[in-house]
Amino acid sequence: MPAPLDVVYARAGIPAPKVTTVSPDRIPAPYRSLLVHERDMTLTLETHHDGPVALRTLSIFREGHWYFRKVLLVEESSGRPVEMGVIEIDLDAFSRPIQDRILRNRVPLGRLLREGGVDYQSRPTAFLAVEPNPELLGVFWMREPKTLYGRQTELTLKGRKIGDVVEILPLA
């Protein structure tokens, strides 16, 4: 299972969803256009859903200078889930004001970094097929398990790795 997903689920004592790696060409539409790119996922989702997304924090914890959070991104207008994300980020990579904004858990990371003028890069390292666990079924308002898709993304700043993100999309 991709880090940080394994870390967050193990810490919570919740059985994780079953995750397998897939090639990008095996990802069906519309997931492919939402996942197979090197753009900021927050901006991609806001463009696709014609409006801003809001952040709902599901869990957080720190291990030294590493900050972990599991969040749900939802359409701001309707509250409909558009992504579940798990982030492991090196707080030491950022200025104090950016760290403070990250720790407040109010703004999706992509928007927060863009607004803060942080020139980071987002590069997918794996594409994922996800068989939802009971928690993910509830988070995404699903009645029965169906394959979901996502990606693992590496975040870098000035050539230095500053984090990993696993992003899982609800049924299209």
Per-residue pLDDT for the chain (172 aa), expressed as one digit of tens each? 567 999 999 999 999 999 999 999 999 999 999 999 988 899 999 999 999 999 999 999 999 999 999 999 999 999 999 999 999 999 999 999 999 999 999 999 999 999 999 999 999 999 999 999 999 999 999 999 999 999 999 999 999 999 999 999 999 8
Pairing of strands 160-169, 66-75: unpaired
Residue 10 in tokens: 């193990």
Give the model's pLDDT for residue 8. 94
CATH (residue range 5-169):
3.40.1410.10
Give the model's pLDDT for residue 133. 95
> Cα–Cα distance between 91 and 62 in angstroms, integer?
10
Helix residue ranges, H only, 38-93: 41-48
pTM reported for the whole predicted model: 0.94
